[in-house]
Amino acid sequence: MLDAATPGTDKPRKLVEITDLKMHFPIRSGLLRRHTGDIKAVDGVTFDIYEGETLGLVGESGCGKSTCGRAILRLYEVTGGSVVIEGRDIAALGPEELRKTRPTMQMVFQDPQASLNPRMTVADIIGEPLNEHTTLSSKEKLARIYELMDQVGLNRAFANRYPHEFSGGQRQRIGIARALALNPKFIVCDEPIAALDVSIQAQVVNLLEDLQDKLGLTYLFISHDLSMVRHIADRVAVMYLGRIVELSPRDDLYEDPLHPYAKALLSAVPEPDPAHEAVRQRIILQGDVPSPANPPKGCNFCTRCPEVQPLCHQQDPDLIEVRPGRYVACHFVKPEKPTAGSTGGIEAKERNQQGERR
């Protein structure tokens, strides 16, 4: 680890580079199950994730945010595009190489009830990745399992219990411990708190933040909870119908959203403050999200956009940098002025090939 001596370095490098990622699911119909169309769940998504940051990925259900997260880890065979993690294109790796790459990237799932095998004990669940990817002796394995349980705040005495004996928040801790088992660098958190009660959500979010500080993790935090994303993320990408419509640093997005959808989405979130709620001007979007099998021509958002113009029905806007570090896909959000020399954020200086710590 060359740069291990400079934690919290102020020249972050790109850990994950996603270019024009596409994930289409075929629609088959008729007696012969002929391929009659595609659900374009993720349709050309480009963004980078810097080392040590938390990138929030927000959007409404069906916008493709979870599919995007899964495609990045190649839990699906992607339709197109590339996902480069630490210099290797995950989307193009062969099965054996992919398997060897798995330890660097892990996932925490939404529903801890469904993502933990009910017939395995906690120790088995947390130890399974160790069996698969390491050659530790059973004694070493147990020591590692205990260490992980300590890290996520689970009592070691519960190592031989089954998932159903735990509460939702504790189950999510088991899922986190399993994700941490192989010392990953990059974790996709897919709605990790959506199934939990408010008072438990804060516990899990604090744990995720502590672990990030301690282990230097990089998160892609997928959520529909915009308030929680404001708390945890450094930068936030807003998705709509398979596309990113805005990608901005957190404070810029929440203080001054630029894309009409981002504006509407933020204005729709109710705030726990009656005085504020009474005077707040809401942008109420009309209608529903169109089907990703049949997205509208032109801009994806043109069917609901309050600021729609004729151009939007014809031409699809690109995601361009309109302010330093802020990317928006809208014909009518123009770059403020061409900033000389800016190439959009912080460039990687060196590339660290080392993947594992142990």
Residues that bind other proteins (CB under 8 A): 60-61, 167, 169, 197-203, 205-206, 209, 224, 226-228, 230-231, 254, 264-278, 280, 282, 284-285, 288
Query: Least distance (Å) from other proteins to the CB of residue 212?
Result: 12
Strands (E), the chain: 14-29, 34-50, 54-58, 80-85, 88-89, 105-108, 186-190, 218-223, 235-240, 243-249, 320-323, 326-328
Query: Least distance (Å) from other proteins to the CB of residue 68?
Result: 17
Residue 280, token pair as written in the block: 């707040």
> 279 vs 254, 273, 282, 292, CA distance in Å?
18, 11, 9, 35
- Between 106 and 170, CB nearer to other proteins: 170
Query: Least distance (Å) from other proteins to the CB of residue 338?
Result: 32
d(CA 120, CA 65): 30
Query: Least distance (Å) from other proteins to the CB of residue 224?
Result: 7
Query: Least distance (Å) from other proteins to the CB of residue 231?
Result: 4
- In the beta sheet, which residues pair with residue 50? 14
- Between 186 and 240, CB nearer to other proteins: 240
Residue 240, token pair as written in the block: 């709509």
Residue 311, token pair as written in the block: 């151009």
- Between 177 and 208, CB nearer to other proteins: 208
Tell me whether residue 273 is exposed, middle or buried, using C-beta atoms within 10 angstroms of its C-beta: 0 to 12, 13 to 18, 19 or more. exposed
Helices (H), 27-181: 65-72, 95-101, 112-115, 122-133, 138-151, 168-180
Count Cα atoms within 13 angstroms, Cβ side, for 149: 21
- Between 5 and 275, CB nearer to other proteins: 275
Query: Least distance (Å) from other proteins to the CB of residue 55?
Result: 17
Count Cα atoms within 13 angstroms, Cβ side, for 102: 19
- Between 135 and 199, CB nearer to other proteins: 199
- Between 273 and 350, CB nearer to other proteins: 273
- Between 52 and 129, CB nearer to other proteins: 52
Query: Least distance (Å) from other proteins to the CB of residue 245?
Result: 13
